[in-house]
Amino acid sequence: MGSPRTRPDATTVVAAGLLAVIGANLLPLVGVLAWGWDLTSLLIVYWVEALATVLLAALKALFAERGSPSVPGGIEPLHELRAKRGGWQPRDGWPPIYPRNVPFALSILGFWVVTVCPLTVLYLSWVSPTAALSPSLGLSIVALLVAQASSFVSEYVGDERYRDVSAREVLRTPGLLGLVIVTLGWLGTAGRAGGLVVLAGAVLAKTGVSASRFYADRVGRPILHLGERFGGGAAFSEPPPELDVPEAAVIARVAADRRSVLLGSVGAIGFGFVHRLGLCTLAAFGFALLVRDPPLIAVTGLAVLAVVAARVLSYYLRYGTVEYRRRGDALVAYDRLLDAPQWIVSVEPTMDVSVRNAIADRLLGTGTLVVSGVDSVDRDEVRLGPVRDVDRAVERLDLPVARTDRPDRDPAAIAACAGLSLLFLAVPAGLFLTPRVETSTAVGVSVAFGPFFLLLVGVLVWAALSRI
C-alpha cells in the first residue's frame, strides 16, 4: 500500500501562489526583451489591469465588514458617512454594503480620476500609439478582466473574506498601482533602449506591488509597509462599529423631519468640494467656462452636479432616515433604512442638552437638540433632529430639557455680514464694469479667484441667515 497523501500546509500554498504571481508579472518583461513586444500595447494592458484592480478594490471596500480607523490628517469624500452604522444588502446571499466604507472607496477612485487619468490622456496625446492591439493582447485583456471578476465572486464573496478585512485593508496596496501606471506612462518619451530600462524598473515595481497584495490578502499583513497613504503605520482595522440595542421596550418614537433635513443639506454642499476630487472638479468646470467649449462645459457641469447630488444624498442618509426612540433609560437613534442603531445614550438628569441654531430650523419652525459629553459613542456629542416639534419631542422622549428656545435675532450681525458680502462681490463685478480691463482678463481672474470669493460670501451669508 502506498503512503497516504499529505495535504500541503497553508505556508506552502501561499509560497506557491506567491511564486506564480511573481512569474506572471515578470513574463511581460521577458516578452519585451526577447520577443520584441510593443511597449505601447503593453502599457495599455498594464493600464487595464491596474484600472480593473482599483475598481474591484473599491467594490470590495464597500462590503468590508470590519471597521476602519480614520486616516490621520485626511478628509475623505462624504466623510460624514464614516459615522454611519449598519448596511444595505443588494441581493440575497450577498454581504451588505456599508455606507461607512463609501468615503474610502471614493478616495481611491478620486486618486485615479485626479492623478492617473489626466496623465494617461496627456501621454496618449503626446505619444501617438503606433501599433494596434493584437488579437493575443486583446484576449489577454479579456482573460484578465474575467479572472479579476471571478476572483471577486469566488474568493472574496464566496469564501466570505469580507468578514475579516476593513476598507483600509482592502485599499492599502491597490493605490500604489496608480503610481506604477504613472511611471509606465512616460515609456514612450524615451528611445527604445531608454524605454526598456524604464520598463524594467516599472515591471519590477509592479511585481512587488502585486506580490505584496497577494501576500496581504492570504496572510492578513503586508510583506513590507506599502500603502502608507491608506495606513500611515497605524492599525488598518478595528472591530465592526455596530451597537447592541437595549432590551427594554420602545415607549416613545420621534422621527426626523425630512423637509428640514433636505433644506439643511444645502448648507453642506460646499463641504463636498473641500477635498482633492471636489476642488479638481470645480477647477475643470472653471477652465471649461474660460475656454468656452460647450461639450467640455456640459461634461464638467454634470460632474459638479454629481458632487452636489452625492453630498445631498449623503447628508440625507446621515440624518433623514433616523428615528429617535426611548427604551427604558436609554435614548436610541435608529436608522430605519439600514435597520441599525446609530448611537445610544443614557438619559440622566445631568445630561448636557442644548438647542442647535440651524438655519433650516428657523425657516421651517423645526428644532434640533445637541447632547454633549457623550461617553457611549465614538464622538463627544450627538444630534437629535431636526424634528417637526421640538417641545413635543422633548415631552414624548421625556428628556431633561428646560428650554428649547433658539438665540434671539441679531440685526447688527446680519447687517455686518450683508455688508461684507456685498464688498466681496463688488471686486469681481468691478472688473467687468471697468473699461480699462478687457472682458477676457475679467473672465480669467473671475474663474481663477471666483471660488475663493464665493466661499467667503457663502460663509457670510450662512452666518447672516443663522441670526435671522
Is 203's pLDDT higher than 60? yes
Is-contact 383 361, C-beta < 8 A? Answer: no
The whole-number pLDDT of residue 229 equals 43
The whole-number pLDDT of residue 145 equals 78
Q: 81-95, 197-211, 382-396, 410-424: which has the highest mean pLDDT?
A: 382-396
**Residues 285, 119: Cα–Cα separation, whole Å:** 18
Q: Residue 41: which pLDDT band, with cuts at 50, 70 and 90?
A: low
pTM of the model: 0.76
Q: In what order do the strands lie in the sheet with 352-355?
A: 352-355, 367-372, 381-387
Is-contact 181 120, C-beta < 8 A? Answer: yes
Tell me which residue of 60, 23, 22, 67 sits closest to 223, measured CA to CA: 22
Is 243's pLDDT higher than 80? yes
Q: 281-285, 403-407, 437-441: which has the highest mean pLDDT?
A: 281-285
**Residues 190, 24: Cα–Cα separation, whole Å:** 26
The pLDDT of 140-147, averaged and rounded, is 74
**Residues 443, 277: Cα–Cα separation, whole Å:** 24
Better-scored residue on pLDDT, 162 or 449 = 162
The whole-number pLDDT of residue 233 equals 43
Tell me which residue of 67, 56, 57, 62 sits closest to 164, measured CA to CA: 67
- Which residues, other chains included, contact 208 with Cβ-Cβ below 8 Å and sequence gap of 6+? 224, 226
Question: pLDDT tens digits for 144-193?
Answer: 777 778 778 877 888 888 888 898 888 876 666 656 665 555 554 444 44
Task: Please tell me the least confidently modeled range out of 193-207, 309-323, 334-348.
Answer: 193-207
Is 465's pLDDT higher than 60? yes
The whole-number pLDDT of residue 219 equals 58
Is-contact 196 179, C-beta < 8 A? Answer: no
Question: pLDDT tens digits for 352-392?
Answer: 888 888 888 888 889 999 988 765 556 678 899 899 999 99
| Percent of the chain residues topping a pLDDT of 70 | 65
> Which residue reads 473699461 in cell numbers?
435
Question: pLDDT tens digits for 75-116?
Answer: 678 888 988 999 998 888 788 999 999 999 988 888 787 777
Q: 5-14, 50-59, 203-212: which has the highest mean pLDDT?
A: 50-59
- Phi and psi dihedrals of 69, rounded to 5? -60, 155
Q: Residue 340: which pLDDT band, with cuts at 50, 70 and 90?
A: very high
> What type of residue sits at position 274?
V
Handedness of CA 185, 189, 192, 195 (dihedral sign): negative
The whole-number pLDDT of residue 249 equals 92
What rounded mean pLDDT belongs to the chain?
Answer: 76
Q: Tell me the CB-side half-sphere exposure of residue 27, using CA atoms within 13 A.
A: 9
Is-contact 42 36, C-beta < 8 A? Answer: no
For residue 325, give the C-alpha cell: 426612540
